[in-house]
């Protein structure tokens, strides 16, 4: 029997829906070098490349569908009555939302948003952006940036994450490699506050000592029965 539950999801859960992760593709992400499309320096040096890349990525992942792991989270959120079930995701796609998940915190940003580098306002839209896009808030042109956290930038919503971790009693990691700071500290953080920790991954992860339990295998197969088990315990 647990109180609040926090689920941290990483690229692995999206990979099972056919969205490639750059770590799996020899350092390439959608055939681009990470340093060309995912660093803040690249944005300042060549914003056109960045806009084109994320416009294309948005199209490439538009038709991708959530998998049984995403839907199991929806079920848990509907049927679990002992506390809240929140999702912290490192993924910029919207598969959690497509599956009907609520309380989703996108710490690496999301593909349907841009941020104005002049006024800081966030615009949610599936439309393409370019260096010609005008901010609807401050009306300045050429300052829109995909609201994706690049290398060299801080993660989003860390205060909210900290609060969720400190109040959770069960921390579940799904499809996250444990290689990227600071998300790889969330499990030990939750544990510090008294949570049980469990991870679902295709392989054993780097920070596996932070987890009380490890389930190895595809999340789409392994996670739904686990949800069933939690719900039966209530």
Residue 46 CA: distances (Å) to CA of 19, 75, 143: 25, 43, 13
CB nearer to Zn ion: give 117 or 202: 117
Q: How far is the CB of 122 from Zn ion (least distance, A)?
A: 10
Rama region for 184: left / alpha / beta (φ>0; ψ in -120 to 50; rest): alpha
Among 122, 126, 131, 138, which residue interacts with Zn ion (rule: CB under 5 A)?
A: 138
Q: Which is nearer to Zn ion, 137 or 192 (CB)?
A: 137
Kindly identify the residues of this chain, within the stretch 19-48, that bind Zn ion according to CB under 5 A.
none
Q: Of 41, 59, 62, 119, which one interacts with Zn ion (CB under 5 A)? A: 119
Q: Is 144 in the site for Zn ion (CB under 5 A)?
A: no
Binding residue (CB under 5 A) for Zn ion from 27, 122, 131, 137: 137
Q: Which of 15, 37, 116, 183 binds Zn ion (CB under 5 A)?
A: 116
CA distance between the termini of the chain: 6
Q: What radius of gyration, in Å, describes the C-alpha atoms of the chain?
A: 18
Angle, CA of 163, 169 and 173, to the nearest 5°: 85
What is d(CA 30, CA 23) in angstroms, rounded to the nearest whole number? Answer: 11
Residue 212 DSSP code: S
Of 88, 135, 165, 195, which one interacts with Zn ion (CB under 5 A)? 135
- If one asks whether residue 6 binds Zn ion (CB under 5 A), the answer comes out as no
Residues ≥6 apart with Cβ < 8 Å to 145: 43, 47, 50, 114, 115, 116, 117
Q: How far is the CB of 144 from Zn ion (least distance, A)?
A: 8
74: exposed, middle or buried (Cβ count in 10 Å: 0-12, 13-18, 19+): middle
Task: Return the number of the residue (77 or 133) whose C-beta is nearest Zn ion.
Answer: 133
If the CB atoms of residues 7 and 135 are measured against Zn ion, the closer one turns out to be 135
- Cα–Cα distance, 176 to 184 (Å, whole number): 8
**Active-site residue flag, 139:** no
Q: Which is nearer to Zn ion, 137 or 151 (CB)?
A: 137
- Binding residue for Zn ion (CB under 5 A) from 118, 130, 157, 166? 118
3-class DSSP state of 143: coil
Interface with Zn ion includes 123 (CB under 5 A)? no
Q: Smallest distance, Å, CB 94 to Zn ion?
A: 23
* Active-site residue, selected from the candidate residues 106, 108, 203, 208: 108
Our finding on whether 134 is near Zn ion (CB under 5 A) is no
Q: What is the C-alpha to C-alpha distance for residues 19 and 126, in angstroms, rounded to an integer?
A: 18
Residues identified as active-site: 108
Q: Which residues bind Zn ion (CB under 5 A)?
A: 116, 118-119, 135, 137-138
């Amino acid at each position: 029997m647990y109180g609040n539950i926090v689920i941290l999801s990483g690229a692995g859960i999206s990979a099972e829906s056919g969205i490639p992760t750059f770590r799996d593709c020899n350092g390439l992400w959608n055939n681009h070098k990470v340093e060309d499309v995912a660093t803040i320096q690249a944005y300042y040096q060549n914003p056109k490349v960045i806009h084109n890349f994320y416009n294309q990525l948005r199209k490439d992942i538009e038709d991708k569908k959530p998998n049984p792991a995403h839907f199991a989270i929806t079920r848990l959120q509907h049927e679990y009555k002992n506390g809240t079930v929140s999702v912290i995701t490192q993924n910029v796609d919207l598969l959690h939302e497509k599956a009907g998940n609520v309380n989703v915190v996108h710490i690496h940003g999301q593909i349907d948003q841009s941020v104005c580098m002049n006024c800081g306002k966030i615009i949610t839209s599936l439309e393409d952006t370019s260096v010609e896009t005008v901010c609807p808030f401050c009306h300045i042109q050429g300052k829109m940036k995909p609201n994706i956290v690049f290398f060299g930038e801080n993660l989003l919503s860390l205060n909210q994450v900290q609060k969720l971790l400190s109040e959770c009693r069960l921390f579940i990691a799904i499809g996250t490699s444990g290689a990227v700071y600071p998300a790889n500290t969330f499990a030990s953080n939750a544990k510090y506050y008294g949570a049980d920790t469990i991870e679902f991954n295709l392989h054993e992860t780097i920070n596996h000592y932070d987890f009380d339990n490890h389930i190895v295998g595809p999340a789409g197969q392994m996670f739904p029965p686990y949800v069933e088990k939690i719900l039966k315990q209530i």
